[in-house]
Structure 1
Amino acid sequence: MFGYVMPYKSELKVREYDMFRAYYCGLCKTLGKEFNQIVRFGLNYDLTFLALLLSSIEEDKEVITKEGCIANPLKKKMIVNTNKSLTYASNISIILIYFKLLDDWKDEKSFKSLIGTIPFLLPLKKASKAYNNKALAIKKYLYKLSALEQNKCNKIDEVADVFAKLMEEISVPDYIEDQKTIRVLRWIGYNLGKWIYILDAFNDLEVDIKNKNYNPILLQYNFNNNEGIYNFKKKVSGPIEFSLTMSLESIAKSFEFLNINKNQGIIDNIIYMGTRHKMEEVLNKREDCKIEKSI
């Protein structure tokens, strides 16, 4: 479900892209320092964006060093040293990934997911202790999400609303006290969560049809095998795109009320271009003929 929030590289300056990568690698390094090396494989772009956004409203300048990494120890790259936004994002990442793996085990009986929780057990205790209210909120909303999915809820907005509230909750660390900033971050988080969930559901249509998985878009718009995936996606792409675009518009308007102290160009790129490019990429991707034949 994660991995959709990223910059549109073609429109980024080289130094801006390098800074985004420095945050990405900084989050990876922070996961390793705070917890263990295995959990670094749970790294994703969406939590990188959260760390970048939270850091951008802080006045302190990033401390950047050049280091090797576990993937390529011989090649040194720019790394943003651990700061409070990276620490927060790393802890939230641990909690999210653990409960998502656990949820996959409960819903799909995926032994791969169950085994995947093992490296997260001790990190989860540490993260839950440091951010107990966030851990409880994540658990609560994922439980609600699972219940809706098990009951085959046929309203995409109703299901997306739950994930949106989860993202709303984690978008504001406890150390932020300014009420205006809190309101803006929560609204950005809510709309980003709604956008991620709906886009992911659309992106998974072929796989969910093939594997007979739950997908609220299939239920709401009454998919049947006779019409085929191509015709179905053509039918639903209009309302889905409208909903996604409205979420992006809300994010953009809210973002204008934040006081950004650094990395404005990168965040502008992600909010105004990166998300839209990703949306268009998912909505307009070519159909897989093999899947079409298997329906």
Structure 2
Amino acid sequence: MFGYVTPYKDELKVREYHWFKAYYCGLCKALGKEFNQAVRMGLNYDFTFLALLLSSIDGQDEKINKEGCITNPIKKKPVVWMNEHIQYSAYMSVILTYFKLLDDWKDDRSIPSLFALWAYVLPLRKARKKYPEKYEGIRKSLGKLSELEKAKCDIIDESADAFAVLMQEIFVPPYITDEKMQRILAWVGYNLGRWIYILDAFHDVETDIRQKNYNPVLLQYKYNVNEDAEAFITRVKEQMEMSLTFTLDNTAKSFELLDIERNKAILENIIYMGTRDKMQQIFGRKRGCTKNEKSL
């Protein structure tokens, strides 16, 4: 995951935003408690959304406490205590972050990623032991994605599908046995994964042109080395936006089938506004808009 699934803060009540942050802090604390302090650096908003979503379809009340943080031990903030959903999200975070760091090392020989990998060796073993089927599912999906990248796959849907299947695997915890719930969560995860992958590919277009990295957007839309990057972005922007909006619509339709017990306003904010605001930020930046235009 890449940290794209965030709330649209301007439309959240202060209490709701603090509640979302309480989940963020709760997941961070869970990573430290279950593994080690270093893996807390891999925390992102996407897994916070997963923890929040799974907790919100559960009938049990959250337990919350005010605690200090490793970055600010004096100021106490609300923290949701670890439940099985937060714990599960922490384990999935460790598995996916490990493979992301490994991929960065293999592809770019990233020294920071290599050093960070050492902090994940023992946590990965623990996560693999606790969720062996999830580990294998994630590994296979990333393996397929790696093969497509090496083959220079020029069909965005094929590459996006591999990551979408990975997210589908993550979004269905093994302790949820209701088949209808499994299907809904799987479809939410699949579409969200597809959206994340395509948006990330579009976001990286300029960087990948400079570094000559694999990018399915460049290949599918036949980027020419003599073509200006901004001109290419303008040329493909409308098709990209339509594809991403369609995927978000599917995500929203799946979400609406869930029986949300609580935190509905926060989740709706993320699904309907946060994701679209993230698209606006990325597509706006790609248009080369000014700071004043962004503020408007």
Show the 5 A alignment for 1:141-220.
Answer: 141-220=141-220
Name which of structure 1's ranges 275-284 and 27-36 shifts more when overlaid on structure 2. Answer: 275-284
Residue type at the aligned position of 1:234: T
Establish whether residue 4 from structure 1 lines up as the match of residue 17 from structure 2.
no
Query: 1: distance between equivalents of 2:7 and 2:112?
Result: 31
SS of the residue 2:79 aligns to: strand
Query: 2: distance between equivalents of 1:184 and 1:25?
Result: 27
TM superposition shift of 1:288 = 6.7
TM superposition shift of 1:179 = 0.9
Query: 2: distance between equivalents of 1:288 and 1:108?
Result: 28
Residue type at the aligned position of 1:138: I
SS of the residue 1:182 aligns to: helix
Name which of structure 1's ranges 275-284 and 219-228 shifts more when overlaid on structure 2. Answer: 219-228
Query: 2: distance between equivalents of 1:58 and 1:288?
Result: 44
> What root-mean-square deviation, in Å, do the aligned CA atoms of Structure 1 and Structure 2 show?
1.2
Show the 5 A alignment for 1:234-273.
Answer: 234-273=234-273
Query: 2: distance between equivalents of 1:23 and 1:157?
Result: 33
Residue type at the aligned position of 1:238: E
Query: 1: distance between equivalents of 2:285 and 2:274?
Result: 16
CA contact (8 A) 2:233 2:286 kept: no
TM-score by length of 2: 0.95
Residue type at the aligned position of 2:180: K
| Superimposed CA distance per residue, residues 41-64 of structure 1 (whole angstroms, 9 cap, x where no aligned partner) | 000000000000000000011100
Query: 2: distance between equivalents of 1:226 and 1:212?
Result: 13
Establish whether residue 47 from structure 1 lines up as the match of residue 47 from structure 2.
yes
SS of the residue 1:173 aligns to: coil
TM superposition shift of 1:225 = 3.3
Establish whether residue 108 from structure 1 lines up as the match of residue 108 from structure 2.
yes
* Gap runs ≥5 in structure 2: 290-296
Show the 5 A alignment for 1:70-89.
Answer: 70-89=70-89
SS of the residue 1:79 aligns to: strand
* Gap runs ≥5 in structure 1: 290-295
Partner of 1:124: 124
CA contact (8 A) 2:252 2:271 kept: yes
CA contact (8 A) 2:230 2:286 kept: no
Residue type at the aligned position of 1:107: D
CA contact (8 A) 2:4 2:46 kept: yes
Partner of 1:69: 69
Partner of 1:293: none
Structure 1's 266 and 49: CA in aligned 2 closer, same or farther, altered over 3 A? same
Partner of 1:24: 24
Residue type at the aligned position of 1:186: A
Aligned residues: 289
Query: 2: distance between equivalents of 1:128 and 1:26?
Result: 22
Residue type at the aligned position of 1:64: I
CA contact (8 A) 2:64 2:80 kept: yes
TM-score by length of 1: 0.96
SS of the residue 1:270 aligns to: helix
Show the 5 A alignment for 1:272-291.
Answer: 272-286=272-286
TM superposition shift of 1:111 = 2.8
TM superposition shift of 1:110 = 2.3
